[in-house]
Structure 1
Amino acid sequence: METSTVTSSSSPPPSPSPSPSPQAPQAPPANLDAVSLGRLSANLERLLDPAFLNCADAEVVLADGGDEATVPVHRCILAARSNFFLDHFSSLSSPAAGGGKPRLELAELVPGGRHVGHEALVAVLGYLYTGRLKPPPQEAAICVDDRCRHQACRPAIDFVVESTYAASGFQISELVSLFQRRLSDFVNEALAEDILPIIHVASTCQLPDLLNQCIQRVADSSVDRHYLEKELPGEAFSRVKEIRRYSLHDETDESTLDPEHAKRVRNIHKALDSDDVALVGMLLKESAITLDDAHAIHYAAAYCEPKVLAGMLNLDSANVNLKNDSGYTPLHIACMRREPDIIVSLIEKGASVLERTRDGRDALTICKRLTREKDCRKKLEKCKERSKAYLCIDILEQVIKTKSSISEERLCEEVQIATPLLADNFHMRLLNLENRVSFARIFFPSEAKLVMRIAQADSTEEFTGLTLANFAKLKDDLNDLKLRERFDALTKTVELGRGYFPHCSEVLDKFLNEESTELFFLETGTPEDQRIKRMRFSELKEDVLKAFSKDKAVAAIASSTSSSSSPRYDGKVRHGNKRAKLLR
């Protein structure tokens, strides 16, 4: 049906204005129709505001639930503007004696109604109320990735898809045509896997041209066949498979190259569909196939419960960073699903958050470009449960932050030293620690001595470097106990120094990263070299002393605050702020 737009309105005539002076030019008469229509449209739009909730006489109930599970509507307006609603409301029985409002379940009202969100429904209803289609709200139609252009990210696609379901269900043909053109533009720009929701809406709403365009684009892509089989409607997948059969994609289809291998893979996937980890283990033992051969971790990350994936990761030594034919690791798949428990399980088993897809996206980027601003608000309301999207992004950001903040010394502890080259690297790191602590002892000897005593570094032997005589021995004995003890003690010393003297540590970090360690040896080199090094050393000393003053000021404030906020007890000694004592 064709939905008419508002073309006239009755409104009071404008109040008379004073006659213009003879010198002033006569203003053209105002377009009263345009003014009236704009005013009427604005007034009707207010009816969708929550403030007018009590004026509504019906409710549309969304399938996704949550705080915005219902949208109040006005039957007389919708019936006057839409034959669909006129027929529907006419068929309803009279309201109950108690005056209850009719509740329309959107999932039952229109095909695809369970996919429609609050913002999309309000946008389409707003068109019925006002005759105008407003731009989508930013928080519901763009992702949280600041580097995204937001031209074809998933939230933008989802908003138009949801709006298409609503417009088609309400039989608003002009909106369906408009949304179809927008979706067609998305197909040419979006990632292939993000086109799948468009295939569903094109199939449900019977948009054959859009459906053909989507199927051709997906068939030409490298999206995994198992993923398509799981996600697409049966007829659409059959068409994709038929197109691929006559293209280069068929050359990599294991079902054609090795039917027995494909059968075993299907059996493992069926066992996963049944959440039967024990059966998966039996299938692995009975055949030569492995979890990696079946991309079973990818499959479990996409479709299984978190506990099933955890059980799979304990079966055998699966490669958690293995990429499938589409170039995705299991962590990439888990981020597409946005399931926090699965992301955590994979990271705990060694999944890299820095691995990138073929188009350069890492796990965090994938997650962000699937997440609306609405789902990842920084200011969370009190007592509100965080969305899974928010948790996934938070987990990934924390892991990346932790990895980036790990010092080189800590990384050295995690590396298994097994070659002469790595041995040199270990000794170089140890020398760097010695140099750093030596500089600290020069600038504030008493404080550095105290920190070294707390870290028990004063009881270990100083490492002065390797000589030709002991280099070969150390290469064969990389776990030398004394070196390890010294390394651990100096590492703890540096960590304590960062806690007690953060500003000083920042100055030393910058110096050690930018300057040569030769600055430590002021008496070496030509006279000009010595002059330059002494000058730079004086500048460094001044910077450190300024930073040291800042650290003492912060500690004094912390000590004063602690003393003033703590009760005093006569005859008892109170333990002061440890950091403040250390700086005195």
Structure 2
Amino acid sequence: MAHSSEPSSSLSFTSSSYISNGSVSHNICSSHCPDPGPNLEAISLSKLSSNLEQLLVDSDCDYSDADIIVEETPVGVHRCILASRSKFFRELFKREKGSSEKEGKLKYCMSNLLPYGKVGYEAFLIFLGYMYTGKLKPSPMEVSTCVDNVCAHDACRPAINFAVELMYVSSIFQIPELVSLFQRRLLNFVGKALVEDVIPILLVAFHCQLSQLVAQCVDRVARSDLDYVSIEKEVPLELSEKIKLLQRSFQHDAENDAPLVDPLHQKRITRIHKALDSDDVELVKLLLTESDITLDEANALHYAAAYCDPKVVSEVLGLGLADVNLRNSRGYTVLHIAAMRKEPSLIVSLLTKGACASELTLDGQSAVSICRRLTRPKDYHAKTEQGKETNKDRICIDVLEREMRRNPMAGDVSISSQTIADDLHMKLLYLENRVAFARLFFPTEAKLAMDIAHAETKSSSGNFREVDLNETPIMQNKRLFSRMEALMKTVEMGRRYFPHCSEVLDKFMEDDLPDVFYLEKGSEEEQRLKRTRFMELKDDVQKAFNKDKAKFCRSGISPSSSSSSLKDSLHHKARKV
């Protein structure tokens, strides 16, 4: 894969062998005209390339007459240039299917131009640069490498995905010389990549009708240890049948070594998988009682972690019938599969049920290293504004790293604060406020902690201070204790997986200022003092957060917090708590 340190590709506009009128050859002209110099043509083409590039990079040269929307970002293009370079765009602009804006600029949505696959913003800019200049720029490191420090980036998933995007855009927009170049690049990946990372290469080869690349990928998958269930789920039927036939031929060649497969046993496993696909855990329980198949024999947790809704995984875990650290035939634990999917709720659910984050695959990869090899620097280092969702890839890595560093002998930190009274209602008030502020300051992390603790419904069912005359004291205490347990579980999850966020909240909650959030109560002098103290408190929280952030940066672990500052309007929201 090309990176920023590589030289630009030698691909360029084809030099014309005719002079401008097109009727006299260059060789004939040169025999009768003075020699203009051997490098004039190369210099002229280079100058033309640089001038056209200014249309893309210089904001003062924005004479574009159409926009192509890529990942919600408009990219200005010049239809005359694209039409002259690509038959696809020539036919597209003839039809003029773009929606006209008031200023007359046509707009085209990239997703509507692609019959299959996807093309990201950076990949489209690389392609567009070639269309304008005839030169192929190196792939940006932030989208074509992973964040694993020990990876050579010669076959990691981001490198493959970026090359796949470039193949899609080159094939769909009909630039054959680029298709040829990227097919060679993808062929180079097939022998190096993990077999699961060959699947996206196989799909782009299939859709772009690249027979040589399809054949190489099919052979690689058929010779691998990738199970047929995964093949059926991830590739089209036509390809899966080819792979299956090839696998049978390999098995025939080594018939004595092939393990016997019980068709009835496999059929029962398939039924369990289909029940999981339907989110029907009750049917799974019924199937288990009707046969001698166990969840572990069916690799049910592995299957659910790979293909089902996270809630289904939680329900299967709740059955208590599966080994959370079981390895499948490829040596992967369920946590390894969840790391490949990069779904934070799955990872945290498994960790809370005892999944071991330090377990390694047969090739020495841990769950966190799997996540890192799948994550682009652009996503990992993306800055998230206050109140906006944090990137899921980043949360997965941070949670797994903290679990690896967590002292397994230390119990969960209990809630302690001088502001909490022994009274049940005071405890509930503290927990309610703490969770509410967590949702305000760190929305993504708080939601994840609440989902794992199943606290969303329990902590929002009415006001615990309201009195129900039909409710007995025993019923009331049961209800309040149930809510408190859910809220405490949420705080425990936050302390375990998001410690720096919890430290900020501890600082915030431990200031004994219960009235500071009711700024409009009291006399004018009292209100003024409350506002002053509130601003001081806000500054203290900000300083605590920055100190924690700096600590993590020094240790090489960047915080995953979804906030970096407190908004001035915080006190308006806080009064609602």
Q: Does 1:242 align with 2:245?
A: yes
Deviations 1:198-224 (A, max 9, x none): 100110000011111111111111112
Task: Supply the distance in 2 between the matched residues of 1:94 and 1:232 (Cα, whole angstroms).
Answer: 33
**Counterpart contact for 2:276–2:308, Cα < 8 Å:** yes
1:351 to 350, 355, 359: 355
Look up the equivalent residue of 1:221 and give its one-letter code.
Answer: S
Pair 1:44-2:52 in alignment: yes
2:246 aligned with 1:230: no
TM norm structure 1 = 0.61
Structure 2 residue 277 is the aligned partner of structure 1 residue 273: yes
**Which residue number corresponds to residue 161 of structure 2?**
158
Moved more, 150-159 or 48-57: 48-57
SS at match of 1:189: coil
- Are the counterparts in 2 of residues 168 and 205 from structure 1 also a CA contact under 8 Å? yes
C-alpha deviation, 1:139, in angstroms: 0.3
Tell me: CA distance 1:95–1:289, structure 2 relative to 1, closer, same or farther (3 Å): closer
Cα distance 1:75–1:357, how it changes in 2: closer, same or farther (>3 A)? same
Which of residues 30, 42, 63 in structure 2 aligns to 1:34? 42
Q: Which residue of 2 aligns with 1:473?
A: none
The answer on whether the counterparts of 1:4 and 1:81 sit within 8 Å (CA) in structure 2 is: no
Distance 1:383 1:80, change over 3 A: farther
Unmatched runs of 5 consecutive residues or more in structure 2: 1-10, 17-35, 412-535, 538-577
Match of 2:63 in 1: 55
Q: Report if the CA contact (8 A) 2:99-2:107 is conserved.
A: no
Structure 2 CA distance for partners of 1:4 and 1:252, relative to 1, 3 Å: same
Map of 2:174 onto structure 1: 171
Partners of 2:258 and 2:302 in 1: how far apart? Answer: 17
CA distance in 2, matches of 1:94, 1:242: 45
1:111 aligns with 2:111: no
Which aligned pairs between 1:175-574 and structure 2 lie closer than 5 A? 175-248=178-251, 257-377=261-381, 379-381=383-385, 384-403=388-407, 410=410
The structural deviation recorded for 1:107 is 3.0
1:141 aligns with 2:144: yes
**Does 1 or 2 have the higher relative contact order (CA < 8 Å, sep 6+)?**
2
- The answer (yes or no) to whether the contact 2:218–2:239 under 8 Å persists in 1 is yes
Q: Hey, what's the Cα distance between the residues in 1 that align with 2:280 and 2:60? A: 52
Distance in 2 of aligned mates of 1:175 and 1:219? 28
> In structure 2, what is the Cα distance between the partners aligned to 1:310 and 1:33?
67
1:90 and 1:378 mapped to 2: Cα distance? 39
Letter in 2 for 1:233: P
CA apart distance, 1:384: 4.3
Q: CA deviation at 1:95?
A: 6.5
Contact 2:276-2:304 within 8 A present in 1 as well:
yes
Higher CA-based Rg: 1
Report the AA paired with residue 193 of structure 2: A
Letter in 1 for 2:330: S
- Shift of residue 294, structure 1, vs aligned partner: 0.6
SS in 2 for 1:298: helix
Question: Secondary structure in 2 aligned to 1:72?
Answer: strand
Asked if 1 retains the 8 angstrom alpha-carbon contact of 2:268 and 2:293, the reply is yes
CA, structure 1 residues 349+332, in 2 after alignment: closer, same or farther (shift >3 Å)?
A: same
The answer to whether the 8 A contact 2:327-2:333 is kept is: yes
Q: Is the alpha carbon distance of 1:324 and 1:73 closer, same or farther for their aligned partners in structure 2, counting shifts above 3 Å?
A: same
Structure 1 residue 5: Cα displacement: 1.5
Match of 2:123 among 95, 120, 131: 120
* Superposition CA RMSD, Å: 2.8
- Change beyond 3 A, Cα 1:57–1:232: same
1:30 is displaced (CA, Å) by: 9.2
Name the stretch that deviates more: 372-381 or 207-216: 372-381
1:46/1:275 Cα in 2 relative to 1: closer, same or farther (>3 Å)? Answer: farther
Structure number having the greater helix percentage: 1
Corresponding letter in the other structure for 1:108: N
Could you say what secondary structure the match of 1:86 adopts? helix
Indicate the residue corresponding to 1:78 in structure 2.
Answer: 82
Conserved? CA contact 1:110–1:170, under 8 Å:
no
- The change in CA–CA distance for 1:164 and 1:94 in structure 2 (over 3 A counts) is closer
CA distance in 2, matches of 1:234, 1:131: 38
Report deviation, 1:277.
1.3
Write out per-residue CA displacement over residues 125-172 of structure 1, whole angstroms, 9 at most, x where no aligned residue.
111111000010000100000000111111111111110011001111
Distance 1:290 1:253 in 2: 23
Unaligned stretches of 5+ residues in structure 1:
9-27, 412-564, 567-584
